[in-house]
């Protein structure tokens, strides 16, 4: 096989899933630190603070394994809203949660756009490879 007919392999990994996963991993740390703040400020019963904080952090860590399945991005959005609502106990979380919600929206929009562009690129590349193969076959 000559270098002109060599096909380039492109990994077909969802950018939307990758961005969402990275953001959720980061958010798990933010929630964990917010839980420590809530505990230190004694904003609620100690047990309630730890249960809510740790459950939310664990859900954020576990959810990337589900991303890409039906309804998983809706679930991710529900988690984002839950993070914003933690502002009830720690007011700074209204701001941090809002920023994280905006980052989630950006990750979903940008990821979808990039995934569509990659799919179009791969279609065009396949068509170009087919044309090159036809021309090569005809010239021989």
Contact 16, 111 (CB under 8 A): yes
DSSP label at 67? B
Q: How confident is the model over 68-122, as pLDDT tens digits?
A: 999 999 999 999 999 999 999 999 999 999 999 999 999 999 999 999 999 999 9
Share of the chain above pLDDT 90, in %: 84
Across the chain, what does the average pLDDT equal? 91
Give dist(CA 136, CA 126) in Å, integer.
Answer: 15
* 5 pLDDT higher than 70: no
Q: What is the pTM of this model?
A: 0.82
Q: How confident is the model over 33-57, as pLDDT tens digits?
A: 999 999 999 999 999 999 999 999 9
């Amino acid at each position: 096989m000559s270098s002109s007919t060599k096909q380039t392999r492109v990994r077909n990994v969802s950018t939307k899933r990758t961005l969402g996963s990275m953001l959720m991993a980061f958010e798990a740390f933010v929630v964990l630190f917010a839980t420590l703040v809530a505990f230190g400020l004694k904003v609620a019963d100690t047990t309630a603070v730890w249960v809510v904080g740790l459950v939310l952090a664990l859900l954020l860590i576990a959810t990337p394994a589900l991303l890409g399945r039906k309804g998983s991005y809706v679930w991710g959005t529900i988690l984002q809203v839950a993070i914003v609502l933690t502002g009830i106990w720690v007011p700074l979380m209204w701001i941090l949660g809002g920023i994280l919600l905006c980052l989630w929206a950006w990750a979903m929009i940008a990821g979808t756009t990039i995934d569509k562009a990659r799919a179009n690129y791969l279609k065009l590349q396949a068509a170009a490879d087919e044309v090159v193969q036809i021309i090569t076959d005809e010239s021989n």
